[in-house]
Amino acid sequence: MTRTVLLVDDDAAVRDALGQTLELADLEAITAASFVVAKDHITPEFPGVILSDIRMPGRDGFHLLDYAQKIDRELPVILLTGEGDIPMAVRAMGQGAFGLLEKPCAAADLLAELERALKTRALVLENRQLKQQLERGDPAARLIFGVSPQVMEMRARVRSVAPTGAEVLVVGPPGSGIPKVAEVVHLMSGGAHGPFVKRPAAGLAPGDFADLCEQAAGGSIFLDEVSAMTEATQYAALELLEQGAPARVIAGSSADLARRVEEGLFSADLFYRLDVMRVRIPALSERREDIPVLFRHYVAQAAEQAGIPAPEIDPDHLAGLLAQDWPGNTRSLMSAAMRFVLGMPEEASPGGGLGLAEQMAQVERSLLIAALGRQNGRASAAATALKLPRKTFYDKLARYGIRPEDYRR
């Protein structure tokens, strides 16, 4: 049952008319005359779309939208409003409605919006299913990409250390994907069904580590760039680890921790406590045969995010990628893939004079503009398509000086 519409309207004649329209389009309609009846059908597994009138006695369509978002923020809700009710339309989109249709609505417009929402819902549920399969399967094979001997050795190492429950230190050059490998260690551990709490070590106060342990109880804590911890926080963390923390600690570092210990910048006791099991991520320059595999994967990801078909990758383009040193490692290769998908000029490629931060900013700006263009300048819909909270989306628009109205057709 994948083409289902939960139709909510207190007017029986409207429900019957809309129900017939849905039936003729081979859609299954579940009808409800009120919020109270409709809410019992809403679950995170609901395979379809909610189509609801806004104005209803008692709890109206906005109550239904709010309830649905609390159950599943990715469940599409399309609201029906009276003709010319602009303030209500603004409120609906601001609260995260997938779409808004004006009554009376042409059947073709209604069905087109429902089809768009159903496709979105099917993709969300498929992605959730794939994630569950990854967690039940072998995340090391599915999430750590590459064919080189170095990557095969790294996967084997992850598989061996993950089930032990001991502390793990993940090391590698900047941009090599330390957080991703740490997550794979968690997914393959005995605490895989527990929380995976990620925090940058920089800025952690001594008391924060105890709070993190409570949040991650039964799961794992990932401390990114652990060398950035203050001396006081290092000793607080060591004390809790010695007492027996309720969560596994996975630390990540692109710095040479042993040298930091020699220089007196990092606690030797904490270093040896964290370095029980070590996983090393090789630099891209050590495993050039992985570059084509990774680039194809990142191109597919970027195309899906941008909502456009993945372009063909010319062999000469791959040869050019293989000739580069990639000091930014997989992070910069991912950035290059995004630029390739978006058709950005070659001078913005690695080595073109821009730092990694500037390159990533260009890519992010292009993705924001592309999303606004696809959504006809509708900022709320573009934020939803990019899976960004609305406040975060608007903050990014302000940062790059992007005006949604410039992309309305």
Q: Please provide the distance, in angstroms rounded to a whole number, between the alpha carbons at the two ends of the chain.
A: 36
How would residue 130 be classed by pLDDT, with cut points 50, 70 and 90?
low
Residue range 211-253, pLDDT digits in tens: 999 999 999 999 999 999 999 999 999 999 999 889 999 999 9
Most confident range (mean pLDDT) of 268-272, 291-295, 403-407 is 268-272
227 and 345 in one domain? no
Same domain for 198 and 176: yes
Give the pLDDT of residue 111.
92
Biggest CA pair distance of the chain: 79
pLDDT at residue 136, as a whole number: 57
What is the average pLDDT score of the chain? Answer: 86
Report how far residue 96's alpha carbon sits from residue 235's, in angstroms, rounded to the nearest whole number: 45
Sign of the C-alpha dihedral, residues 345, 346, 352, 355?
positive
Q: Quick one: pLDDT at residue 141?
A: 76
Q: What is the sign of the dihedral through the CA atoms of 50, 56, 60 and 61?
A: positive
- The pLDDT value recorded for residue 306 is 81
Let me know whether 391 and 353 are in one domain. Answer: yes
- State which of 109, 134, 159 marks the end of a domain: 134
Express each pLDDT in 70-87 by its tens digit: 999 889 999 988 765 667
The residue among 215, 247, 282 that closes a domain is 282
CATH code, domain carrying 33: 3.40.50.2300
Summarised one tens digit per residue, pLDDT across range 369-386 is 777 877 878 888 888 888
Q: For position 346, what pLDDT does the model report?
A: 53
Angle at CA of residue 132, ends 127 and 136, nearest 5°: 145
Q: Give the tokens for residue 118.
A: 């159903």
What number is the average pLDDT over the span 163-190? 94
This prediction's pTM? 0.55
Structural domains of the chain, count? 3
Give residue 150's domain range.
139-282
Same domain, 163 and 273: yes
Cβ neighbourhood burial of 393 (10 Å; 0-12, 13-18, 19+)? buried
The CATH number of whichever domain residue 215 belongs to comes to 3.40.50.300
Domain boundary among 105, 134, 163: 134
Shared-domain flag, residues 268 and 334: no
| Residues 153 and 274 reside in one and the same domain | yes
Q: Which two tokens stand for residue 275?
A: 């370095």
Task: Say what the pLDDT of residue 347 is.
Answer: 43
Is the CB of residue 371 less than 8 Å from the CB of residue 402?
A: no
